[in-house]
Amino acid sequence: MAEATYNFGMIGLGTMGRNLLLNMASHGVPVAGYDISAAQVALFEKEGEGKPVKGFTNLEEMVQSLTKPRAIMMLVPAGKPVDNVISNVKPFLKAGDIIIDGGNSHFTDTVLRDQALDSEGFHFFGMGISGGEEGARKGPSMMPGGDKEAYLTLKPIFEAIAAKVDGDPCVTYVGPGASGHFVKMVHNGIEYGLMQLIAETYEILRKGLQLEDAAIQQLFAKWNEGRLQSFLIEVTRDIFMVKAEGADHLLVNDIKDQARSKGTGKWTSQVAMDLEVPIPTIDMAVAMRNLSKYKSVRTEAAQLYGDKKPVLNVDQEAFLSDLEQALYFSVIVTYAQGLHLLTRASATYSYDLQLSEIAKIWRGGCIIRSTLLNDIYNAYKAEPNLENLLLDGQVSTLVQEILPATRSVVSTSLGAGIAIPALAASLTYFETFQSENMPSNLIQAQRDYFGAHTYELIGKEGVFHTNWMPLPSKP
């Protein structure tokens, strides 16, 4: 058996698992990794040459190489693979050892695993990890939730490897139970929304204004120097500089317009429906990824209805200024929707989430990191019980300033026949959010008419029902 000399173990040496371990090793933490693939193990040891790393293709040997209490993270695909790994590793562990699920597991699965492993004496927590390959290697944002004692044991390691913003590590204990995976799920939902908003902005620039690729690249580069500065704007800027191999045009123009997904956006929409929290920008982003998959149907429809060539007859300089404001407005609204979902989930599931701390750790390392998160952090730091970000005084001042431009961009683009579902959903959500009186009174009357579902009256206690059948007309 291997000598117990390593402080942390990893099951799964794919891109994320391998780079997280190399990150730890770079910070002086002796680490061991296991994978069924000998090639992955060899790659891990090659990349970790000169560092305190060891790879294994024998799971028991890897476990025996760890110091006690053993700490093992799984980075494998969500679902059944996680349960299989737990079943395979448990025989080699003892009560008091720590198991961490670092993948994108559905939070309901994490609840069941937490209960089962706790009953057997194991420490377990789920930890959302964001940042991709580069983040894992150089500093991710991490969202651990579950067994607090277990997290505190490993806190020095996670704080050492996390991204840093103003010297603060982008990791914090999120809360009990499955809260870590829930927060990561919502993070990914926000990510879906932001990506769709950027794609629609690209659609306006490409089709509506008919800008060349170089001009689009310059615009995203300019925006990334201002208040829209974020990882996603940054990568968009960079994408518009990469040419197809051996060609004189951009690679992005050769990529099929069929977006894939791994499910976390869908899960966000589903649980938001369960908790009765409106997140239409995120919902629309999920729907548009689904619609993109129907390429043949869309091609047939384009032939049937005529693939229009929308052109915006506008003052280009003024419109681009408005477009920047509209995108920024929609980004704010998307964060507001996701954070509102976290607020309701915290109350429903007793997570006791500190949204200021969540915003703080999202400022670096993760995919949705942005300059705006500093303002979001300040808003929730000043008012921890803020129910919706749009109710913050400073945010409301900003929103009111950019609202007219947003209305102009949405109406002009839709009028020209440009599809901007997420931008339009963001604006419509806000317009309804700020409406003291919605037309929902009519819906209640309709429900009572056909189903006797009753209704409430303004300024009057009780529940009421009316026989709505029309009175016979007089002769």
Q: Can you tell me the mean pLDDT for 329-347?
A: 98
Closest among 80, 81, 85, 170 to 128, alpha carbons compared: 170
Rounded-to-integer distance, Cα 289 and Cα 261, Å:
8
pLDDT at 1: 52
Q: Using one digit for the tens of pLDDT, what is the confidence trace for 178-231?
A: 999 999 999 999 999 999 999 999 999 999 999 999 999 999 999 999 999 999
pLDDT at 66: 96
pLDDT at 474: 60
- The enclosing domain of 450 has a CATH number of 1.20.5.320
Residue 404 has pLDDT above 90, yes or no: yes
pLDDT tier, 470 (very low <50, low <70, confident <90, very high otherwise): confident
- The enclosing domain of 382 has a CATH number of 1.10.1040.10
Residue 449, in any domain of the structure: yes
Residue 287, in any domain of the structure: yes
Q: Report if pTM > 0.75.
A: yes
Q: In terms of domains, do 236 and 100 share one?
A: no
Q: In terms of domains, do 59 and 16 share one?
A: yes
Among 54, 184, 207, 360, the one annotated catalytic: 184
Among 46, 61, 68, 191, the one annotated catalytic: 191
Mean pLDDT (the chain, rounded): 94
Q: In terms of domains, do 367 and 302 share one?
A: yes
pLDDT at 135: 87
Domain boundary among 145, 161, 177: 177
Residue 110, in any domain of the structure: yes
Q: Using one digit for the tens of pLDDT, what is the confidence trace for 126-172?
A: 999 998 888 889 999 999 999 999 999 999 999 999 999 999 999 99
Q: In terms of domains, do 268 and 296 share one?
A: yes
pLDDT tier, 335 (very low <50, low <70, confident <90, very high otherwise): very high
Q: In terms of domains, do 261 and 310 share one?
A: yes
pLDDT at 471: 59
Q: Can you tell me the mean pLDDT for 407-417?
A: 96
What type of residue is 377? Y
Q: In terms of domains, do 290 and 358 share one?
A: yes
Whether 149 is catalytic:
no
Residue 400 has pLDDT above 60, yes or no: yes
Q: In terms of domains, do 170 and 190 share one?
A: no
Q: Can you tell me the mean pLDDT for 9-30?
A: 94
Domain boundary among 130, 148, 177: 177
Tally of CB atoms within 10 A around 444 = 14
Residue 336 has pLDDT above 90, yes or no: yes
Q: Nearest-5° angle of CA 152, CA 156, CA 159?
A: 105
Residue 319, in any domain of the structure: yes
Q: In terms of domains, do 131 and 238 share one?
A: no
Number of domains in the chain: 3
Q: In terms of domains, do 369 and 459 share one?
A: no
Residue 411 has pLDDT above 70, yes or no: yes
Rounded-to-integer distance, Cα 286 and Cα 261, Å:
9
pLDDT tier, 368 (very low <50, low <70, confident <90, very high otherwise): very high
Whether 191 is catalytic:
yes
Residue 2 has pLDDT above 60, yes or no: no
Q: In terms of domains, do 231 and 310 share one?
A: yes
pLDDT at 364: 95
- The enclosing domain of 141 has a CATH number of 3.40.50.720
pLDDT tier, 309 (very low <50, low <70, confident <90, very high otherwise): confident
Residue 450, in any domain of the structure: yes
Lowest pLDDT segment from 112-126, 289-303, 332-346, 457-471: 457-471
Residue 76, in any domain of the structure: yes
Q: Using one digit for the tens of pLDDT, what is the confidence trace for 233-289?
A: 999 999 999 998 888 899 999 999 989 887 789 999 999 999 999 999 999 999 999
Q: Using one digit for the tens of pLDDT, what is the confidence trace for 71-113?
A: 999 999 889 999 999 999 999 999 999 999 999 999 999 999 9
Q: In terms of domains, do 318 and 372 share one?
A: yes
Domain boundary among 134, 149, 177: 177
Residue 426 has pLDDT above 90, yes or no: yes
Q: In terms of domains, do 173 and 195 share one?
A: no
Residue 444 lies in domain: 440-469
Residue 474, in any domain of the structure: no
Rounded-to-integer distance, Cα 232 and Cα 334, Å:
14
Residue 2, in any domain of the structure: no
